[in-house]
Amino acid sequence: MVAEHKYLAEQGAKLVELRVDFIGRSIDLKRLIGERPTPVLMTARRREDGGRWMKSEEERQMFLRSVIAAGVEYVDLEDDIADQIPRYGKTKRVISHHNMESTPDNLEELHERMSKLDPDIVKIATMATSFRDNVRMMNLVKNAKIPTIGICMGEIGVITRVMANRLGSPFTYATFSEDKAIAPGQLNWKEMSSLYAYDTIDEHTKLFGVVADPVAHSYSPLIHNKAFKKIGLNARYLPFRVAKSDLPAFMDSIDELGIHGISITIPHKSAAMDYCTQVEASASGIGAINTMVTSDGNRIGYNTDYRAAMDCIMEAFKLDPEVKHSMHGITALVLGAGGVTRAIAWGLKQRGAEVTVSSRTEDRARSLAGELGCRYVLWDDRYDNKYRLLINGTPVGMHPDVDTSPYMESALNPLMVVFDTVYNPENTMLVKYARRQQARVITGVDMFVRQAAYQFKLFTGREAPSGLMRETIKQATNPVQIKE
């Protein structure tokens, strides 16, 4: 723990929490704090509060008193024992309350009660079970008269950690290692300080984000935040995990939270249209959006998946985008029946292509084909015809299942264009097959960067640094290979 403390100080950490309940039976307090490189917050958390303290409660409270006597900068005292441990010296008291199951309805009453326990800082950490829990917690922190840290734990509550500085919290929490999260939903120091630059998010920072369930896997915060930084915008792009049932609460909170635009992905692309005041014609035709921009009470929906995919395809076939039915006579097989597939298939139909849909789930393929007015074939029959354009809109070949392909190599040929929407990895097995057969290739990275660049311009009114976006996603999805 001493070595880790020094490392964090070297990385720029200004305050470090020492969780002594993680040390074990033997605690050398003098060594822990004797030559501390930063101020510390000492914590000995009980098991019922999410900690690992194994000794008696009497020993724990005795240890906390010794910590205060030693003159550390901060000590964490749970609200049910705070009145048993008096203030002494210059040590500041963080009075804390933890609920590992839910976020209670009486947050304000809880905060008021804790405010009477002689705190310098009130800390409330609860488990988020809905997005609305985040909003209630952030409002509590923002309106508190005593310095307050309010955290909603779990992936749903990540934004309460990132937004701490904007809300007025004295500090927030991160883990020093990617592999050692102390609490559910806790981000690591690098993410908090570099990816989100949490300590510079203020009342002037414009907020954007991605809405999905799940959302932790998304690379969108990485590429957008790097792009914002590149062109010097005071803006942040955050991950919002929102369940289907929670979408209304999230949409009701957009203006309150000051969110100016969102990327929308699974499972909300269709449902989000109901919350738009206006939808561009192509998104309306597709029946799904992946982008919403808010301004002066208006919410405008777009589908940048469609725009990006069509750009990629038109370039591959060297066709004029101004010609209405430029793809007339081109046969296309679209694999999958999800949101991306729907957008691409709709665009192909608009340009006159002969579109066939195939999915591992027959009912979904039949339904999509019926809605778009195109053919569908059974998954096992997808090789029965010849196609000029093959599009994979399934997750087959996506990390970590990188050794599979939705289409066999022997069915590919040099006259085809093969488009794999999977971007992690970029060089999927299908892409490798296509290149071996000398087919023209469109990768998922090509589409991902284009759609993100379109979103960036819709969000900011400025051209995106597409080269930086491409480099960032490639680095994130392709670890450095060591050559022997």
Task: Give the three-class secondary structure for 438.
Answer: coil
Angle made by CA atoms 220, 293, 165, in degrees to the nearest 5: 60
Long-range contacts of 294-302 (CB under 8 A, 24+ apart): 294/254, 294/255, 294/259, 294/260, 294/261, 295/260, 297/255, 299/254, 299/275, 300/276, 301/272, 301/273, 301/276, 302/454, 302/455, 302/458
Q: How many CB atoms lie within 10 A of CB 105?
A: 9
Question: From residue 372, how far is each of 216, 357, 419 by CA, in Å?
Answer: 32, 10, 20
The one catalytic residue among 98, 111, 224, 226: 98
Name beta bridge partners: 300.
Answer: 278, 293
Q: Is 349 a catalytic residue?
A: no
Separation between Cα atoms, residue 108 and residue 117, nearest integer Å:
15
For the record, the structure tokens of 102 come out as 């839910």
The three-state (H, E, C) secondary structure of 2-20, written as one string: HHHHHHHHHHCCCCEEEEH
Catalytic residue among 92, 111, 123, 268: 123
| Nearest of 470, 475, 429, 460 to residue 228 by alpha carbon | 460
Q: Say which of 21, 49, 79, 305 is annotated catalytic.
A: 305
* Known active-site residue 98: yes
Distance CA 164, CA 261 (A): 20
- Which residues contact residue 86 at a Cβ distance below 8 angstroms, ignoring those fewer than 6 apart? none
Active site residue 14: no
The whole-angstrom separation of Cα 240 and Cα 346 is 28
Active site residue 229: no
DSSP-H helix ranges across 406-483? 429-436, 444-460, 466-477
What distance lies between CA 275 and its chain's CA centroid? 21
Q: Which of 21, 226, 269, 420 is catalytic?
A: 269
Active site residues: 98, 123, 269, 305
